[in-house]
Amino acid sequence: MEIQFWKFLVLALLSADLQVGQAQELVVKIGHVGPKSGAIAHLGKDNENGARMAIDELNAKGVTIGGKKAKFELLAEDDAGDPKQGTAAAQKLVDAKVNGVIGHLNSGTSIPASKVYSDAGIPQISPSATNPKFTRQGFKTTFRVVADDVQLGGELGRYAVTKLKGKSIVVIDDRTAYGQGLADEFEKGVKGKGGSIAKREFTNDKATDFTAILTSIKAAKPDVVFYGGMDAVAGPMIRQMKQLGITAKFMGGDGICTGELPKLAAGAMADGQVVCAEAGGVEGASKASMDKFKVDFKKKFNADVQIYAPYVYDATMVMVDAMVKAGSADPKAYLPVLAKTAGYKGVTGTIAFDEKGDIKNGLITLFTYVDGNRKELAGAGGNCNDCGSGEICCSRRTPPSCAKTCT
């Protein structure tokens, strides 16, 4: 009987210790939304993997929030790049009582979803939505870690005139919040440099046949074709341009500036033909961090970074950093701390938010493709200044100057 009593006592103590340990553990739910199905599922998966990488690292570190060890869980939802599905996914995460949301990928889904999160008081950081409206609705819960289309589209428009010397510039967009918004800013950038738009056309984000549009614009003898949309449409469009003998430069924003574009174009891209912009960029010490991230990402997922996985990773880390500083994962407690984020050193550079929730001093980097590989354009990237005489200076310095080193 005495032995049985001691066995019972030991088991009781172990059970009590386990319950205390469980009581000290804080479960933190981080939501992520992106297109995991549809034509741009490869970009959605890339973003989700960036979030998974962050969550796994946080759990491995044993992060504590308010004196409790945090266990992070990723709740990943698919919005298929569709606004209606995006709001449904957002409501699902709200109902699951997530502590914060990273996403969505597209502006077209991020904008309507942002109201759902705002109404619930849940912070949302998008790693890739660039339409200016996203952070200009007055919501205190909305943030992004990349530059917006005013910067990105405008810079591409200026580049088309001053660097590519475009005389006959054609604009096509996919009528989404992202594609049309970016195309509008591109057009403003062109006109701001004294250029003009020879023709403007539109398609949709699920189109595959552009024969009619391309035949129409061929008559304008374009030297620059700008497309506002994603790589899943841009690739086939480039193929069909080649079939019709259109040799114009092909420009676009971050939506086409992916590792997948050469495959989607199926060998139709000439070296240097495509000029695209990424709403981000790194320099100096951050370059080493970004290179390491890409190596670690490839090792973990057996896939190369498409474009925004590092920004998803940083967005997740910034959100958790605010929770740690606030000593709470309660959105009401850590939201004011998140809004004051400044000087956070991420793999994508230094992150600080302005009063709207936009990243301060957001960088822009221009790329082209050579031998099917994305290559940064020399002298391009970062914020840009007008140096006069039709020249612009792109530099990672803030602010950029028109020194000889800045060409």
**Which one-letter amino acid corresponds to residue 111?**
I
Going by C-beta distance under 8 Å and a sequence separation of 6 or more, which residues neighbour residue 405?
none
Q: Which residues contact 134 (CB under 8 A, 6 or more apart)?
A: 107, 110, 111, 114, 126, 142, 144, 148
Q: Is the pLDDT of residue 16 over 80?
A: no
Residues 100-131 pLDDT 10s? 999 999 999 999 999 999 999 999 999 999 99
Question: Percent of the chain scored above 90 by pLDDT?
Answer: 80
pLDDT at 398 over 70: no
Residue 228 reports pLDDT greater than 80: yes
- pLDDT tens readout for residues 374-396: 999 854 444 444 444 344 444 43
pLDDT at 134 > cutoff 50: yes
pTM attached to this predicted model: 0.83
Residues 146-198: tens digit of each pLDDT: 999 998 999 999 999 999 999 999 999 999 999 999 999 999 999 999 999 99
Which region among 22-26, 136-140, 153-157 has the lowest average model confidence (pLDDT)? 22-26
What are the residues facing 32 on neighbouring strands?
A: 76, 102
Phi and psi dihedrals of 164, rounded to 5? -85, -10
Query: What is the share, in percent, of the chain residues with pLDDT greater than 70?
Result: 86
Residue 113 tokens, joined: 């979803």
Dig out the tokens for 276 from the structure: 């695209």
pLDDT band at 293 (very low <50, low <70, confident <90, very high): very high
**What pLDDT score does 22 carry?**
47
Q: In this structure, what token pair is assigned to residue 155?
A: 């810079």
Domains of the chain with CATH codes: 8-147+284-351 (3.40.50.2300), 149-278 (3.40.50.2300)
Cα 407 to Cα 209, 224, 279, 367, 397: the distances in Å are 39, 22, 20, 15, 13
What pLDDT score was predicted for residue 285?
65
pLDDT recorded at residue 378? 57
* pLDDT tens sequence across 232-262: 999 999 999 999 999 999 999 999 999 999 9
CA distance 27 to 327: 14
What are the residues facing 202 on neighbouring strands? 173
d(CA 93, CA 112): 14
Distances (CA, A) of 16 to 21, 24, 290, 359: 9, 12, 45, 47
- The mean pLDDT of 55-61, rounded to a whole number, is 98
pLDDT attached to residue 84: 97
Q: Taking all residues of the chain, what is their mean pLDDT, rounded to a whole number?
A: 89
User: Which comes out higher in pLDDT, residue 342 or 278?
Assistant: 342
Q: How confident is the model at residue 24, as a pLDDT?
A: 75
Q: Do β-strands 383-388 and 391-395 pair in parallel, antiparallel, or remain unpaired? A: antiparallel
Q: HEC string of the chain?
A: CHHHHHHHHHHHHHHHHHHHHHHCEEEEEEEEEECCCCCCHHHHHHHHHHHHHHHHHHHHHCCEECCEEEEEEEEEEECCCCHHHHHHHHHHHHHCCCCEEEECCCHHHHHHHHHHHHHHCCCEEECCCCCHHHHCCCCCCEEECCCCHHHHHHHHHHHHHHCCCCCCEEEEECCCHHHHHHHHHHHHHHHHCCCCEEEEEECCCCCCCCHHHHHHHHCCCCCEEEEECCHHHHHHHHHHHHHCCCCCEEEECCCCCCCCHHHHHCCCCCCCCEEEEECCCCCCHHHHHHHHHHHHHHHHHCCCCCCCHHHHHHHHHHHHHHHHHHCCCCHHHHHHHHHCCCCEEECCEEECECCCCCECCCCCEEEEEECCEEEECCCCCCEEEEEECCEEEEECCCCCCCCCCCC
Measured N-to-C along each axis, helices 309-326 and 285-301 cross at an angle, to the nearest 10 degrees, of 100
* Strand order across the 124-126 sheet: 64-65, 68-78, 25-34, 100-103, 124-126, 142-144
Taking 80 as the threshold, does the pLDDT of residue 27 lie above it?
A: yes
pLDDT in tens, 210-223: 999 999 999 999 99
Confidence at residue 209, expressed as pLDDT on a 0 to 100 scale: 96
**Sequence-distant (≥ 6) Cβ neighbours of residue 278 within 8 angstroms:** 254, 257, 307, 364, 365, 367
**9 is written with which tokens?**
């006592």
pLDDT at 287: 81
Residue 323 structure tokens: 């929770």
Give 377's contacts (C-beta < 8 A, 6+ positions apart): 275, 366, 367, 368
Residue 70 CA to residue 53 CA, distance in Å, equals 16
